[in-house]
Amino acid sequence: MEATYQALIQRFLEIKKDELLSKHTTLMIGGQADLFWECRDVRKLPEFLDHLKKLSLKFFILGGGSNVLFDSRGFRGCVIKIVDNSFEFDDDNLIAASGTRMTILAKMTMQQGLSGLEWANGIPGTIGGAVFGNAGCHGQDISRNLSKAVLYSPNKGIFEAEKGYFQFSYRHSILKTSQDIVLKAYLKLQKKAVNFEQSQQAVSFRNDKQPFGLSSGSFFKNSLNDSAGRLIEAVGLKGCQIGQAQISPKHANFFMNLGGATSDDILALRDLAKQKVAEKFHINLEEEVVIVDC
C-alpha cells in the first residue's frame, strides 16, 4: 500500500500523508487520514478521482467540515477536501464551485440585490454539501434554489443534471446513494427586494437557539411530527455526558465535544438517544450527520 501511496504523491505533490482529520471538522474529532488532498480547482477533481479508481483507493469527499463525524482511528484511504470557492453571476443566476461556503453565497447575492438565499446566512457548510444533503432551515432548503449542477461520476464522467435528477426530499438527495460528486451548482435567484430582515433573523436564531462550542450541527433529522431535539429532551437526555461528549444542555439535538471526545463517545450518546426515543415514542431517529468509518 505504501508504494501505491507514493505513486499518487509523485503525481499530485500537494497530497499530505497522515493528516489529522480533527483539524478539518467543526466537531474536531477524527484520527489521521492516510492521504489528504485539498482540491483548489474542481476542474482537477475528475482526474484525481480517476487515479484513485485505478489504484483501488477508498476516498471521502469533505466540504466545510460540518455535519460529519470521522472515526478517531482515522481513515484508511484518501480524504479530499474541496476548497475551490469560485463563483460568478450570470444575470439572476449564480454559478458556484462546490467548495464555496453557503454563508458567503448568501451575503454576496444580497450585495448583488438578488433574493432567494437570505435563509442561508450563517450556514457553515459548502454548496456541494448543501446539495448533497438538501441543507435548509426555517422551512426552506437548497432544492428551492438549485436549477442544475455539474456532476462527476466514476462511471459516467462529467455531466450536467437538472433539478429533478436529485430526487430531493427532507435532508436528502440521490447523491447520498449514488457515486455522483458535485463540481458546480447553478442557483436561480430573483431580482426583487432583498429580505434583509429574514437574513438577520436566520443569524439571530442560530445565536439564540443553538449552542456555541464544538459540534457537527443538528445530529438527527427531525421526525415527521416532532423535532429530534424535543424528543431527546423528553426522554431526559438533555445535558447527558459520556466521556468528553455531551448532549447540549441548550439544544438536545446538538452533540458537543467538550474537549478530548472520541468518535466512540459521540456514537455511544447517539445509541442511547435512539434507544430511549424508540422505547418511549416508537420513533426511530435518523442521523443527519454523515458517519465516516475508518
Active site residues: 171, 218, 288
Which is nearest to 40 in space by CA: 87, 10, 81, 12? 81
How many alpha carbons fall within 13 Å on the CB side of residue 163?
A: 11
> In the structure grid, which three cell numbers stand for residue 160, read together?
450536467
Instruction: Give the start-end residues of each E strand in the chain.
Output: 16-20, 32-39, 59-62, 68-70, 75-82, 87-90, 93-97, 136-137, 140-141, 146-153, 157-162, 181-188, 214-218, 241-242, 245-247, 254-257, 290-292
Cell of 65: 467540515
* Rounded-to-integer distance, Cα 262 and Cα 244, Å: 7
Q: For 93, what's the count of Cα atoms within 13 Å in the CB-facing half-sphere?
A: 9
